[in-house]
């Protein structure tokens, strides 16, 4: 498949280590993928679903101990511990290699090594980067073939270059105690052992496109962010693009594919999805910030996805999709999950592979972090710019999290550095996307806490530097919170498609066409400036979620101060100044 010496040498070295019975290069052809699908169905690794209702779709169940990212077992193995910073787990590289090679040794015995050449970004486009993942899992091959651009074309583009990311995945025996997701930023290398779950094993995604790429971005002057990208077309036909960073399972896929409420549809508003999880952003020749989505598919949260909340995502999953850890409806050989509709199947199998009838068991049928892997090209609102390797220009950057109180529905930062401060103090309730407690508020700067491949203090500095380079062409920075709760624990804001009402205000602010209230944390909309037509939400209720409570924020400022201490000397002075200004305004 290739004459590239660096690829061949590394592949041979890994082959000697893991000892596969045979090696298969993934060429990206449909014939090869089809034969792998057939093989996975024969071994039970995947189940072929109803060809009429869900053509080309499959179901997979992971091991029950392997259902989410494992942040506690994810390591940045930089040469110096300081470079990994206080928010990452660190392991000394030679120790890490020794331990990982010990676990990987002979682990492919009796198995096949699949070699997956893949491109993050359209093949050969200026922002694209190449990786090669070795895996012993057909599930990984098939998911990578949806999530990235895979095949011989990638190796042709690589030529003789040694500039590519090495990735070794060994499924091993899915032993939690020996599960490790390790990144060697200085070696462009990722090693993942003892897992078969998405974010741990689809190495192009979080491991490469965020952890390794964020490190490359800092050194090369660009940004790799945990952000969706969407285009908002107004009735005049103009399209403005925004990028938004929300922590895992906090609404990126939903916002990226939103369907405008009727009032907006009638006026002619349209939404175009560019990406739902990752953005690579660079300063273009015109001095503005341009973003591409390096992925080629969506690895989306299944539960809660339905005809009303996210019809575009649902439509995207109707063909060529792999479902993981959802309910298998045996009556018609389709899939189901909580929140799809109110009719759970009577004759089904739950995500653990046990009989399930939707009523007698208290346990959920689908895992809360069950997922679909769907091709981007299926998405009814995929942007015409999706394959454009130069990307799209970003007008606004939006941060957001899941906060039952404190953070208002939306506010705007005062300027770039204040916006970096707003991103750095993001806090959100934890979700099922990572193992561990759910619903605990934690600081998750820029939604990158689990994904920044280097010292978070240096990362903040990189943001400040980018702002300096962008100058007056910098996107405006906002923060949103769709998740404020009332006293009975219900969401106050309707969310989903209605989030366009907030985006409209954001875009107006970018063009100086809307007023705002100056508060200690930044600019908050005047309640009458958020369009509520067609909603049964009163202006008074809206006011409660636009409110900035001084007592809450004084407590918040103390929390920020404590959090900032982690970063010591690496905390940029600009952020110290922003915290000081916030405290002064609150006092």
| Shortest Å distance, C-beta 398 to Mn ion | 15
Site string for ligand SPV, 222-251 (x = CB under 6 A): --------------------------x---
Which parts of 337-366 interact with ligand GTP (CB under 6 A)? none
Maximum C-alpha span of the chain = 69
Q: What is the DSSP letter of 564?
A: H
Please identify, using beta-carbon distances, which residue of 69 and 476 lies nearer to ligand SPV: 69
Question: Virtual CA dihedral for 236, 241, 246, 251, nearest 10 degrees?
Answer: 40
SS3 472: helix
3-state secondary structure of 457: helix
d(CA 313, CA 337): 14
Structure tokens at 141: 């091959």
Nearer to ligand SPV, 245 or 545 (CB): 245
Angle CA(328)–CA(370)–CA(25) in degrees, nearest 5? 90
Instruction: Give CA–CA dist 398/228, Å, rounded.
Output: 10
Note whether 311 binds ligand GTP by CB under 6 A: no
Q: Contacts with ligand SPV: how many residues (CB under 6 A)? A: 9
The only residue of 277, 350, 429, 556 in contact with Mn ion, by rule CB under 5 A: 277
Q: Is 197 one of the annotated binding-site residues?
A: yes
In order of 417, 482, 498, the CA distances from 340 in angstroms are 41, 21, 19
Q: Report the SS3 class of residue 67.
A: coil
Minimal distance, residue 251 CB to ligand GTP, in Å? 3
Candidates 11, 249, 449, 524; binder of ligand GTP (CB under 6 A) is 249
**Identified binder of ligand GTP from the candidate list 86, 304, 389, 559, rule CB under 6 A:** 304
The two structure tokens encoding residue 331: 């009556």
Rounded to the nearest 10°, the torsion over CA 50, 337, 317, 70 is -120
Residues 75-94 as x/- pattern, contact with ligand GTP by CB under 6 A: --------------------
Q: Rule CB under 6 A: choose which of 37, 171, 183, 206 binds ligand SPV.
A: 206
User: Which stretch in 6-14, 322-330, 403-411, 490-498 sits in contact with ligand GTP by CB under 6 A?
Assistant: 490-498
Cα 141–205–220 angle (5° rounding)? 130
* Under rule CB under 5 A, residue 293 binds Mn ion: no
Catalytic residue among 57, 250, 379, 381: 250
Instruction: For ligand GTP, give the closer residue by CB, 41 or 404.
Output: 404
**H or E, element range at 100:** helix 93-104
> Considering the complex, what minimum distance in angstroms separates the CB of residue 278 from ligand SPV?
8
Interface map 180-199 toward ligand SPV (x if CB under 6 A): ------------------xx
> Interface with ligand SPV includes 205 (CB under 6 A)?
yes
Determine contact, residues 411/524, Cβ cutoff 8 Å: yes
Size of site (CB under 5 A) for Mn ion: 2
Q: Which of residues 258-277 bind ligand SPV (CB under 6 A)?
A: 277
By C-beta, is 172 or 409 nearer to ligand GTP?
409
The b/e string for 532-571 (b: 16+ C-beta within 10 A; e otherwise) is: beebebeeebbeebbbbeeeebeebbeebeebbeebeebb
**Least gap, CB of 451 to Mn ion (angstroms):** 8
Locate all alpha helices (DSSP H) within 391-538, ordered by sequence. Answer: 416-424, 456-470, 500-510
Q: Is 69 in the site for ligand SPV (CB under 6 A)?
A: yes
For residues 357 and 373, is the Cβ–Cβ distance under 8 A? no
Find the shortest distance in angstroms from Cβ 250 to Mn ion. 9
User: In the bound complex, what is the minimum distance in angstroms from residue 473's beta carbon to ligand GTP?
Assistant: 28
Could you tell me the smallest distance in angstroms from the CB atom of residue 252 to ligand GTP?
3
- Active-site residue flag, 379: no
- Judged by CB under 6 A, the chain residues 152 through 171 that form the site for ligand GTP are none
User: Which CB atom, from 223 or from 255, has the smaller least distance to ligand GTP?
Assistant: 255
- What value, to the nearest 5°, has the Cα angle with vertex 158 and ends 154 and 162? 135
Under 8 Å between Cβ of 239 and 233: yes
Contact indicator for 282, 392 with CB cutoff of 8 Å = no
Contact (Cβ atoms closer than 8 angstroms) between residue 323 and residue 61: no
Closer by beta carbon to ligand SPV, 199 or else 522: 199
Could you tell me if 40 and 130 are in contact, meaning their C-beta atoms sit under 8 angstroms apart?
Answer: no
Contact partner, 206, from ligand SPV, Mn ion, ligand GTP, none, Cβ < 5-8 Å per class:
ligand SPV
CB 318 within 8 A of CB 311: no
Q: Binding site annotation covers 277?
A: yes
Structure-token match 């590519």, residue found: 164
- Give the shortest CB-358-to-ligand GTP separation in angstroms: 19
Annotated binding-site members for Mn(2+): 206, 226, 277
Contacts to ligand GTP by CB under 6 A? 246, 248-254, 276-277, 300-301, 303-304, 309, 433, 482-483, 491, 495-496, 499
Q: Which amino acids are annotated catalytic?
A: 250
Contacts to ligand SPV by CB under 6 A? 69, 198-199, 205-206, 248, 277, 299, 433
Annotated binding-site members for substrate: 69, 197-199, 248, 369-371
Contacts to Mn ion by CB under 5 A? 248, 277
């Amino acid at each position: 498949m290739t004459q590239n010496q660096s690829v061949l040498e590394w592949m041979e070295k890994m082959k000697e280590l893991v000892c596969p019975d045979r090696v298969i290069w993934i060429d990206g052809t449909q014939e090869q993928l089809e034969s792998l699908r057939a093989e996975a169905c024969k071994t039970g690794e995947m189940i072929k679903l109803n060809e009429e209702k869900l053509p080309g779709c499959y179901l997979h169940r992971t091991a029950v101990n392997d259902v989410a990212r494992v942040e506690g077992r994810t390591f940045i193995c930089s040469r110096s511990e300081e470079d990994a910073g206080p928010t990452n787990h660190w392991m000394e590289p030679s120790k890490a290699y020794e331990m990982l090679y010990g676990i990987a040794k002979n682990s492919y015995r009796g198995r096949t090594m699949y070699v997956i050449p893949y491109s993050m970004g359209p093949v050969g486009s200026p922002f694209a980067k190449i990786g090669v993942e070795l895996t012993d899992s057909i599930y990984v091959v098939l998911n990578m073939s949806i999530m990235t651009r895979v095949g011989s074309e990638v190796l042709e583009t690589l030529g003789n270059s040694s500039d590519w990311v090495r990735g070794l995945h060994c499924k091993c025996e899915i032993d939690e105690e020996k599960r490790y997701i390790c990144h060697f930023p200085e070696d462009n290398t990722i090693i993942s052992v003892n897992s078969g779950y998405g974010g741990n094993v689809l190495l192009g995604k979080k491991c490469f496109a965020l952890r390794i790429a964020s490190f490359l971005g800092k050194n090369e002057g660009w940004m790799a962010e945990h952000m969706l990208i969407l285009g908002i077309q107004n009735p005049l036909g103009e399209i403005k693009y925004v990028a938004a960073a929300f922590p895992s399972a906090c609404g990126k896929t939903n916002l990226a594919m939103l369907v405008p409420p009727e009032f907006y549809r009638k006026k002619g508003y349209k939404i175009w999805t560019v990406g739902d999880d990752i953005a690579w952003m660079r300063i273009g020749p015109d001095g503005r910030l341009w973003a591409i989505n390096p992925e080629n598919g969506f690895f989306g949260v299944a539960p809660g996805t339905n005809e009303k909340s996210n019809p575009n995502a649902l439509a995207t999953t109707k063909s060529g999709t792999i479902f993981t850890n959802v309910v298998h409806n045996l009556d018609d050989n389709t899939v189901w999950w909580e929140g799809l509709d109110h009719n759970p199947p009577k004759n089904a199998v739950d995500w653990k592979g046990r009989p399930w009838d939707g009523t007698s068991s208290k346990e959920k049928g689908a895992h809360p972090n069950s997922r679909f892997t769907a091709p981007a090209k299926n998405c009814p609102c995929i942007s015409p710019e999706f394959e454009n390797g130069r990307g799209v220009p970003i007008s606004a950057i939006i941060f957001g999290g899941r906060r039952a109180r404190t953070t208002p529905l939306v506010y705007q930062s005062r300027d770039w550095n204040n916006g970096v401060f707003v991103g750095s103090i993001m806090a959100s309730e934890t979700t099922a996307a990572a193992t561990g407690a759910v619903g605990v508020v934690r600081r998750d700067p820029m939604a990158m806490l689990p994904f920044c491949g280097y010292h978070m203090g240096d990362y903040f500095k990189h943001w400040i530097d980018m702002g300096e380079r962008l100058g007056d062409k910098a996107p405006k920075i906002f923060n949103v919170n769709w998740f404020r709760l009332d006293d009975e624990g219900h969401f106050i804001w309707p969310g989903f498609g209605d989030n366009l009402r907030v985006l409209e205000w954001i875009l107006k602010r970018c063009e100086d066409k809307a007023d705002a209230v100056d508060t200690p944390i930044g600019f908050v909309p005047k309640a009458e400036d958020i369009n509520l037509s067609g909603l049964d939400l009163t202006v008074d209720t809206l006011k409660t979620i636009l409110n900035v409570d001084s007592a809450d924020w004084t407590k918040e400022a103390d929390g920020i101060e404590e959090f900032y201490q982690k970063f010591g000397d690496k905390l940029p002075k600009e952020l110290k100044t922003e915290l000081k200004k916030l405290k002064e305004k609150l006092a």
